A = this chain, B = another copy of it.
Amino acid sequence: MRNYRRFLRGATGAVTGTFLGALWGVLQAQSNPAALAARQYRQQHERAIVDEFIDLLSIPDIAADRANIERNAQFIAKMMEKRGFTPRLVGVPGSNPVVFSEIDTPGATRTLVFYAHYDGQPLDPKEWATPPFSPTLRDRALDQDGKIIALPATRFDPENRLYARAASDDKANLLTLLTALDAIKAAGLKTKSNLKFVFEGEEEAGSINLEKILAANKPLFSGDMWFICDGPVHQTRRQQITFGARGITQVDITVYGPRHELHSGHYGNWAPNPAMMLAKLLASMKDDNGRVLVDHFYDGVAPLSATEKKAIADAPDVDQQLMRELWLGSTENAPKKLMELINLPSLNVRGMGAARIGAQASNVIPATAFATIDMRLVKGMDHHQTAQRLIEHIRQQGYFVVDSEPNAETRMAHAKVAKVIEKDGGYNAVRTSMDLPISQEIIRTVESARGPTVLMPTSGGSDPREIVERTLGVRTIGIPTVNHDNNQHSFNENVRIQNLWDGIELMAALLTM
């Protein structure tokens, strides 16, 4: 089937290919009975599906907000009880609960585990157009001047967007999985595998307790394949499968100037300015084309296999489309393409600050300057070693590096002092071979539900699949469903309604594998 699709695309060029691809998708979706049943079910229950989703999204879900996290867990457990499950809340002291449940299928010879997370990224509500936990429907995306609309009585325009924290990342996948189960049941379809559902509550805090939770409950969480249901589909809106995920490590850097802010007139030119010091330090970390200058940063990166290289070459080229969508006049590491670059490690300044900006700015030399960095890792890199290499780089720039607040003596003893914190929750990258029989079966199943599919050796994002693989000795594959332009990790996160519908069909196909 994949050969036929490729033939079509090769023979007709990109534009016609897109049309035929869409047609193929329609035909393929009809070829998977569970996906077809899911479509029919969804068409009859759109409003009820979204109502349940809105209830879920209305519960604040930042991992550090323990009281509301507990409310989420209880609500999800009730969602599962309504469907006849006997859910369990599984945790370790200090952790947010994992909501777990399972379906035993008589005669099944394998177990498929479906993972999603119910916590959302931290946020600043002031940045949001509408409150992040008051789910709001718009006729289209905000940056296309989408207007707030009332929920329709029955059918939704598929281009509508629902705005709320975790609408895409990652409560959408709880919804698509449970709705797909409803559809399978309503159609009287049978499951072939044993199924487990694992819904984590602190993925956006780096899955800091997941390893302990899994290690303490290995039989409960074991299976033949973990589906990591998270992340966006391809920018062309085609379905996508990610066979790996980048690892991550985060480092917080504080650079010190005078003990307290100083009047920039009375001390400017004399007192070191930590904002300028930080600027020079950050500037030393990458060259002008985006290559990381930290010594040994790229050491040990595992090469891609022939199949993986081919998958990258076959993926649609979206760079020009994305540059238009994102108003970009240039890209880093050009002329390399996005698809190639997310298979390489990265260093990103995710936040930076010194003194005040805007109306509150004043003429001071700041006392400190702060930057927070995430580094994405690919297979073959170690997260702790990578953080240490960055720390060594900071030392090479002349800094005395400490890992807690430096006192007066320390600050006076060194020309430049930086506090550098390697944050908890780092993990390594993993990559499942596309050549395994189960990988090939999953590709066929996904394409039977969703048509032409982009095969990604590595997801650009990071998720806890490395923890899962290492702790349980299982394989993982990533199943994304949401739109790429969902603002996940930023303000105004949203999900496109059609992606919810597609996700339900996809999950129905995988649940009946």
Contacts and interface: CB of A to CB of B under 8 A. Distances in A.
B271 A361 contact: no
Contact of A264 (B270, B323, B364, B489): B489
Interface string A384-428: 000000000000000000000000100111111100000000000
Contacts of A121: 362-363
B354 A261 contact: no
Most buried by B among A352, A354, A365: A352
A372 interface: yes
A248 B484 CA distance: 46
B272 A282 contact: no
Given A342-B269, A348-B365, A123 B360 contact: yes
A329 interface: yes
Contact of A259 (B326, B363, B364): B326
A341 B269 contact: yes
A207 interface: no
A266 interface: yes
| Residue from A269, A376, A491 whose CB has the most chain B CB atoms within 10 Å | A269
Given A273-B332, A344-B269, A366 B338 contact: no
A364 B122 contact: no
B363 A328 contact: no
Nearest to A400: B329
Contact of A332 (B261, B271, B342, B352): B271
A326 B460 contact: no
Interface stretch (A45-53, A184-192, A283-291, A446-454): A283-291
Contacts of A411: 327-329
Contacts of A280: 279, 282-283, 288
A353 interface: yes
Number of copies: 2
A321 interface: no
B123 A362 contact: yes
A82 interface: no
B329 A414 contact: yes
Contact of A359 (B122, B267, B376, B490): B122
Given A329-B417, A372-B361, A269 B248 contact: no
A239 interface: no
A127 to B, nearest CB: 8
A258 interface: yes
Contact of A276 (B124, B286, B484): B286
Interface string A322-346: 0111111111110011100110111
A416 B346 contact: no
Contacts of A28: none
A370 interface: yes
Pick the 6 closest A-B CB pairs, nearest first: A265-B461, A261-B490, A330-B415, A279-B282, A266-B460, A268-B346
30 contacts: A64-B359, A122-B362, A143-B259, A246-B265, A248-B363, A250-B363, A261-B487, A263-B461, A264-B376, A265-B376, A265-B462, A268-B460, A269-B290, A269-B333, A270-B336, A270-B341, A271-B328, A272-B328, A272-B330, A272-B331, A327-B412, A330-B414, A348-B363, A349-B354, A349-B366, A351-B355, A351-B361, A351-B366, A352-B355, A361-B372
